[in-house]
Chain A
Amino acid sequence: MKKSTLISISAALLILALGILWYYGSGADVKIVDMNASSVGVRESGKLDIVLQNNGSKPVDVWLEVENAFVDKNGEARSTSRLIISNDSVDPWDAKFVSLQKPIHLLPGNNSVSVWLGYELPGKYPVNVKVIENSRLLDEGTYLVQIPLPEIHLKLEYETESRNTSDIYRIYGYLINKGLGNALDVSTNLTVIDERTGELGFTSSRTYDVSNNDKVALWSWPDYPYAIVEIAHGEPSGKSYMPVQNVVIGESEDRFLINVTSTWKDQVASAELLIPPREESR
């Protein structure tokens, strides 16, 4: 290649480089100075608070691009459109929603914005925030959001009533979550086995949702127990006990093992009751 050609190409590239340098070199001075997220559980709405510092002397319009703010149950990150809210409202539902379709107007100094967060599964999610002005990346930051696991437990209790020649045991149960994340679709099985004969009285199963640090009653109808065991020392009472479905009727010699087992992901919790308890046999 001739020397003259090389000079021509160099001159043109220099012009191009100067043009790009001029374009990018005049960007606003905006930095992410702080990011913080409050604790959030599975399927709860959370917020990532971001402090953007505009070091210039004039307001500047920037765009935010946020990755991993919403992740569905298949692990796919979802769009973050309409997720930015102004930080001047305590109640998130009263907050002013600002669309990500528009630039955010930053005044000189610190500006607070928040991004909605939501995750269908527990885990660690790096939320990446990019601050952009006219296609120019001004700053970028990542905040690691941790979605904690639920911790499931079961509890059974009972009360007794004697009616005519029968002892009626009303059994109540709770699925308790002592963790921070929500446990959804917790599969819960009830089995009742007659200890005397070893026969399975019945089984039933249902799924429950239990929020973090909460509990749910296993019974379906308020004021009605989860299960009923009637020990008839004479003629059975003949009561249907509707709407309770989990009902077993036995005789004086019978003793039933009530077992409830809940399974959620790799967690298993169970609770047992022996009805009637050993010290109560007539």
Chain B
Amino acid sequence: MTKLNELFSCRHAKLLILLLLLSGICAGCLGQDPLEARVKKLTHSLGDKDQNVSYASVYALVDIGEPAVDSLIKALKDDNPQVRSLAARALGEIGDKKAVDSLIEVLDDPSPEVRMNATFSLGSLGAAEAVEPLIELLKDENEGVVLSAVSSLGALRDPRAVEPICEVLNGNYYDARWKIASALREIGDPRAIDTLLSLLGDKELGPSVASMLGNFESEQVFGKVIKLLDSRDPTTRANAVAVFEYHQDPAAVPYLVEMLDDGAPEVRKEAAFTLGFFKEPEETAQSEQPLISALEDSEPEVKEAAVGSLGRIKSKESIPYLEGLLQDNNQNLRIAAVEALGRIGDPEAVDFLIAALEDKNWQVRKQIVYSFVEIGDLQAVDSMISLLGDENYRVRQIAAGGLGKLGDQRAVEPLLKALETERERNVRAAEVRALGELGGPEAVEGLRRITMDMEEYWNVRTAAGDILKTIEGVEEANISSTS
């Protein structure tokens, strides 16, 4: 029998320790946290040469979220710039503020991609403590880094960044001016106003800047913009007028009316267009007649803008003038006049619009249907029924939709008849939906036939089926409520 001391003799003890170590290693491997192991593997994959793999690793780490943050912070010090750069990006996407200090530290990384992604992430994290370092980065030699810093400072909305960003705007970043100006708008500090106003004369950027100025308080902007209405540059004047689309200060109306007589057509057009946003009675009392007079302008675009505004302010006085424009040679003017008559919503206009259905331009006919629906007068139903046979499928489609909205049962039979011959998928779907809106036994029967037709377009058959379910559901509810 083996003695106990023999069992633990030197040779046996060595073997035993070896086996115990082996089992310890196995247990260690089995016991490793799989999430931790996956984070480690994915962080390593950030440096993969295959972009599909490295980017997929970023997405996966972002999915994992907070448990991946420590590993990513560590990766900011990796030797491989790709790993550092993607780790910086992933930290911003995860959104854990624990990463802020480490991201600030890599703002002086030798790789521009790392600086850019760290900058982006600091903006995403809302890291107020990063404002000063980010301002410093506005002097970076790399354009991508500078623009990323501008965006992040815009997101952080710290007024300290306004003047440095204004300097960048006046620098050599011509193609990125919109992005830089947007950052100033985001911050919303009044010190940016003068810089933004100076861009109103820019043909490309001016209209966008006009809308950006809408982000500031009216009293901060009003006086300065009014002064620009006297600018010698027509682009500046037109864009200054456009600012009032976003600041509808009633005090601007007399100035805008005055601009209807400006020498430059683009200014008159902008003034005519902008006046349509001032809809209060005391405002329209000042603008209605000047806008009607603008219908005589020599420039069709000015006329079109005036027509649109007369529609938006619902000017009944303009109806006879708009009727006259229904015969104009310019199709855009005819379309605008039809749209304006619809917006005004006076049934008096229906007869003019019915007569205008002879128009050869399908867009005019389509717009007439929209206006019929907006006016909501049932005397248009017969004309709309005749449009179910229009030569243009878009007109037929809109007419079917309009008949459904008007809700006149007279349209059921013509819609069913149209479905017998209509070939275009979307028109058929519109006709089916119109039948659903109109309802009634005939419509239901027609819809039922469509649901059973296996040679029908799928969307048409499905629409009919869905409508029937709704109708049957309502009927069941009615029966149960009466019983």
A residues neighboring B (CB under 8 Å): 3-5, 7-9, 11-13, 15-16, 19-20, 23, 63, 81-82, 99, 101-103, 134-135, 155, 172, 174, 176, 178, 211-215, 217, 222-223
Within 8 A of A (CB), among B1-35: 2, 6-7, 12, 15-16, 19-20, 22-23, 26-27, 30-31, 33-35
Residues of B within 8 A of A11 (CB): 16
Leading 10 A-B pairs by shortest Cβ distance: A12-B19, A99-B63, A214-B458, A16-B23, A4-B2, A101-B60, A222-B393, A8-B12, A101-B63, A223-B393
Q: How does the 8 Å CB contact mask read for B24-48 relative to A, with 1 for contact and 0 for none?
A: 0011001101110010001000000
Residues of A within 8 A of B56 (CB): 81
B16 A12 Cβ-Cβ under 8 A: yes
Residues of B within 8 A of A155 (CB): 455
Q: Knowing A4-B7, A15-B20 are in contact, say whether A81-B60 is a contact too (CB < 8 A).
A: yes
Residues of B within 8 A of A3 (CB): 2
Residues of B within 8 A of A223 (CB): 391-393, 424
User: Once the chains are docked, how many angstroms separate the CA of A86 from the CA of B16?
Assistant: 50
User: Once the chains are docked, how many angstroms separate the CA of A191 from the CA of B461?
Assistant: 31
Q: How does the 8 Å CB contact mask read for B387-402 relative to A, with 1 for contact and 0 for none?
A: 0000111000000000
B27 A23 Cβ-Cβ under 8 A: yes
User: Once the chains are docked, how many angstroms separate the CA of A223 from the CA of B7?
Assistant: 97
A16 B26 Cβ-Cβ under 8 A: yes
17 more contacts with CB within 8 A, not counting A63-B34, A135-B30, are A4-B2, A4-B6, A5-B15, A7-B7, A8-B12, A12-B19, A12-B20, A16-B23, A19-B26, A20-B30, A101-B60, A172-B423, A178-B454, A215-B456, A217-B423, A217-B424, A223-B393
User: Can you spell out 27 A-B residue pairs with CB atoms less than 8 angstroms apart?
Assistant: A4-B2, A4-B6, A5-B12, A8-B15, A9-B19, A12-B19, A19-B23, A20-B26, A23-B27, A23-B30, A23-B31, A81-B56, A99-B63, A99-B64, A102-B63, A103-B35, A134-B30, A135-B30, A135-B34, A155-B455, A172-B423, A213-B458, A213-B461, A217-B424, A217-B425, A222-B393, A223-B391
Residues of A within 8 A of B60 (CB): 81, 99, 101
Least Cβ–Cβ distance between B24 and chain A, in angstroms: 9
Least Cβ–Cβ distance between B15 and chain A, in angstroms: 6
Least Cβ–Cβ distance between B34 and chain A, in angstroms: 6
B residues neighboring A (CB under 8 Å): 2, 6-7, 12, 15-16, 19-20, 22-23, 26-27, 30-31, 33-35, 38, 42, 56, 59-61, 63-65, 391-393, 423-425, 454-459, 461
User: Once the chains are docked, how many angstroms separate the CA of A103 from the CA of B461?
Assistant: 42
Residues of B within 8 A of A20 (CB): 26-27, 30
Residues of B within 8 A of A4 (CB): 2, 6-7, 12
Q: Knowing A176-B455, A178-B454 are in contact, say whether A12-B425 is a contact too (CB < 8 A).
A: no
Least Cβ–Cβ distance between A197 and chain B, in angstroms: 32
Residues of B within 8 A of A19 (CB): 23, 26-27
Residues of B within 8 A of A8 (CB): 7, 12, 15-16
Residues of A within 8 A of B19 (CB): 9, 12-13, 15-16
User: Once the chains are docked, how many angstroms separate the CA of A15 from the CA of B424?
Assistant: 77
Residues of A within 8 A of B393 (CB): 222-223
Residues of B within 8 A of A13 (CB): 19
Residues of B within 8 A of A211 (CB): 458
Residue from B6, B15, B391, B458 in contact with A12 in the complex, judged by beta carbons closer than 8 Å? B15
A102 B12 Cβ-Cβ under 8 A: no
Residues of B within 8 A of A213 (CB): 454, 458, 461
B23 A101 Cβ-Cβ under 8 A: no
B455 A174 Cβ-Cβ under 8 A: yes
User: Once the chains are docked, how many angstroms separate the CA of A155 from the CA of B459?
Assistant: 19
| Chain B residue nearest in CB terms to A172 | B423
| Chain B residue nearest in CB terms to A61 | B35
Residues of A within 8 A of B7 (CB): 4, 7-8
Residues of B within 8 A of A101 (CB): 38, 42, 60-61, 63-64
Residues of A within 8 A of B459 (CB): 214
Residues of A within 8 A of B424 (CB): 217, 222-223
A215 B455 Cβ-Cβ under 8 A: yes
User: Once the chains are docked, how many angstroms separate the CA of A171 from the CA of B426?
Assistant: 20
User: Once the chains are docked, how many angstroms separate the CA of A155 from the CA of B60?
Assistant: 49
Least Cβ–Cβ distance between B373 and chain A, in angstroms: 22
User: Once the chains are docked, how many angstroms separate the CA of A18 from the CA of B248?
Assistant: 81
| Chain A residue nearest in CB terms to B15 | A8
B457 A215 Cβ-Cβ under 8 A: yes
| Chain A residue nearest in CB terms to B425 | A217
User: Once the chains are docked, how many angstroms separate the CA of A11 from the CA of B8?
Assistant: 12
Residue from A15, A23, A102, A172 in contact with B35 in the complex, judged by beta carbons closer than 8 Å? A102
Least Cβ–Cβ distance between A262 and chain B, in angstroms: 15
Residues of A within 8 A of B59 (CB): 82
User: Once the chains are docked, how many angstroms separate the CA of A39 from the CA of B110?
Assistant: 55
Least Cβ–Cβ distance between B291 and chain A, in angstroms: 38
A12 B64 Cβ-Cβ under 8 A: no
User: Once the chains are docked, how many angstroms separate the CA of A211 from the CA of B20?
Assistant: 63
| Chain A residue nearest in CB terms to B37 | A135
Residues of A within 8 A of B42 (CB): 101
User: Once the chains are docked, how many angstroms separate the CA of A12 from the CA of B22?
Assistant: 10
Residues of A within 8 A of B30 (CB): 20, 23, 134-135
A9 B63 Cβ-Cβ under 8 A: no
User: Once the chains are docked, how many angstroms separate the CA of A214 from the CA of B460?
Assistant: 10
| Chain B residue nearest in CB terms to A15 | B23
Residues of A within 8 A of B425 (CB): 217
